[in-house]
């Protein structure tokens, strides 16, 4: 059982390029999340999806888009990358949104935008 | 927005006890989580509190006081492998998690 996988593990990207970070879970969880983690700021929610076919904006959604075509996959797209999007990106999932529902995190993608 | 505060760093000796405090001000409250994150790895779940009081789970315990907007994570019998960052996260009215910046605990021999 893999849990949550993310790809790529790391990436160096030129500013202005388009980039999609992939996230797949095999736990049949309804809810999925994208966070970025920056030193001194902790994890911040970018976008979320409570169930397949629905998405919502988190705390820092600008410059990012997501889609949830099925239960397992939740890709994050940077349409035109900027240096301030240099960060470590974590995808997470939980059985349900809210309440005592532990979030399981993927291994992360380290993205550098030059 | 949500405001969650925890100390940046703590150092303790192997075998000792360390208490990591977390204070929060959020729009509503639906539970408080503690996660552990080793350097370069993903966060992993440690504990969940939604009612006041102490939850004990082996060497780790977590306490919550909703009226004070306060929680702590207690790590007992510290081991070298406990060196990590500990993240306090609050679930507010919108059922989304807001994280503190994390407390880096260093365990020394």
3-class state of residue A98 by DSSP: coil
B7, burial (CB in 10 Å: exposed 0-12, middle 13-18, buried 19+) = middle
CA distance A98 to A31: 9
Confidence label for B1 from pLDDT (cuts 50, 70 and 90): low
pLDDT at A60 over 90: yes
Q: What is the pLDDT of residue B46?
A: 96
3-class state of residue B2 by DSSP: coil
% of chain B exceeding 90 in pLDDT? 89
Per mean pLDDT, which range of A37-51, A81-95, A96-110 is the poorest? A96-110
Chain A residue at shortest CA distance from B46: A102
Picking from A10, A29, A33, A37 by the largest number of B CB atoms within 10 A of its own CB, the best residue to mutate is: A37
Confidence label for A99 from pLDDT (cuts 50, 70 and 90): low
The CB-side HSE value for B99 (13 A sphere, CA atoms) comes to: 27
Measure in Å the smallest separation between the Cα of A91 and chain B Cα atoms.
9
Confidence label for B93 from pLDDT (cuts 50, 70 and 90): confident
Chain A residue at shortest CA distance from B98: A44
Confidence label for B101 from pLDDT (cuts 50, 70 and 90): very high
pLDDT at A58 over 70: yes
Q: What is the pLDDT of residue A89?
A: 98
Picking from A30, A51, A102 by the largest number of B CB atoms within 10 A of its own CB, the best residue to mutate is: A102
CA distance B51 to B78: 26
Average pLDDT over residues B56-77: 97
Measure in Å the smallest separation between the Cα of A45 and chain B Cα atoms.
8
Each residue of B30-65: b (16+ CB within 10 Å) or e? Answer: bbbbbbbbeeeebbeebbbbeeeeeeeeeebbbbbe
Measure in Å the smallest separation between the Cα of B23 and chain A Cα atoms.
15
CA distance B78 to B106: 10
CB contact under 8 A, B31 and A40: no
B77, burial (CB in 10 Å: exposed 0-12, middle 13-18, buried 19+) = exposed
Measure in Å the smallest separation between the Cα of B48 and chain A Cα atoms.
7
Chain A residue at shortest CA distance from B4: A42
Average pLDDT over residues A19-33: 96
- Tell which phi-psi region holds residue B60, choosing left (phi > 0), alpha (psi between -120 and 50) or beta: beta
Q: What is the pLDDT of residue A107?
A: 97
Chain A CB contacts of B100 below 8 Å: 42
CB contact under 8 A, A99 and B99: no
CB contact under 8 A, B102 and A42: yes
CB contact under 8 A, A98 and B30: yes
% of chain A exceeding 90 in pLDDT? 88
């Amino acid at each position: 059982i893999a849990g949550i996988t993310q790809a790529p593990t790391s990436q160096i990207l030129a500013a202005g390029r388009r980039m999609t970070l992939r996230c797949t879970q095999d736990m049949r969880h309804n809810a999925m999340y994208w966070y970025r983690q920056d030193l001194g700021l902790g994890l911040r929610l970018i976008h979320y999806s409570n169930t397949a076919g629905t998405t919502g904006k988190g705390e820092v959604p600008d410059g990012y888009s997501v889609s949830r075509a099925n239960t397992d996959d939740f890709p994050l797209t940077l349409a035109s990358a900027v240096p301030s999007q240099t960060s470590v990106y974590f995808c997470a999932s939980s059985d349900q949104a809210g309440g005592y529902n532990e979030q399981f995190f993927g291994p992360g993608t380290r993205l550098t935008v030059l | 927005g949500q405001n969650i505060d925890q100390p940046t760093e703590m150092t303790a000796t192997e075998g000792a006890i360390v208490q990591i405090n977390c204070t929060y001000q959020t729009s509503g409250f639906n539970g408080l989580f503690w996660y552990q994150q080793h350097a370069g790895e993903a966060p992993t779940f440690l504990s969940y509190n939604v009612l006041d009081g102490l939850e004990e789970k082996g060497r780790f315990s977590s306490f919550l006081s909703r009226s004070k907007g306060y929680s702590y994570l207690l790590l007992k019998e510290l081991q070298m492998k406990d060196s990590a960052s500990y993240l306090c996260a609050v679930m507010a009215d919108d059922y989304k998690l807001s994280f503190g910046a994390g407390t880096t605990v260093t365990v020394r021999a």
